[in-house]
Structure 1
């Protein structure tokens, strides 16, 4: 069943909000990684075991990669919905 323009517009707005949230989450993820890397360096400088702290950095990076992949999917959906809501005019020959 085809969606109405109003339903497509509603979906578009929802996806745009998700895209903003994804951007914010990714930026915060990078901040967490930098903070954790700083902690690892501090632990190393203090002669402490850093194995678990380094594992956390790796896990945070893997998570962030997945968030970035998900963001791409959201962005693709936004592009698709924009085209559905406001299709380009037909080309004249």
Structure 2
């Protein structure tokens, strides 16, 4: 069985290169990202909290599953990580 997602949001691919360059190995894999999008989609209008933004790949996956009424707060404690801001 191949459970690799067939559709990927555009953002994670663009975020992967800087993460790789920085040696960051904790980014969401495609299967995990697909699960994050599914979980976000299961909560229409929900409020979602992500702890540990990293380089934003998981954030992009969450956003891809959220509807317009949902909200996302994401927190990264490491000042060396790039800031990602979404509305």
Bigger relative contact order, structure 1 or 2 (CA pairs below 8 A, ≥6 apart): 1
TM over 0.5, yes or no? no
When Rg is computed on C-alpha atoms for both structures, the one with the higher figure is 1
Structure (1 or 2) with the greater helix fraction: 1
Shorter-normalised TM range: under 0.3
Structure (1 or 2) with the greater strand fraction: 2
TM-score, structure 1 as length reference = 0.25
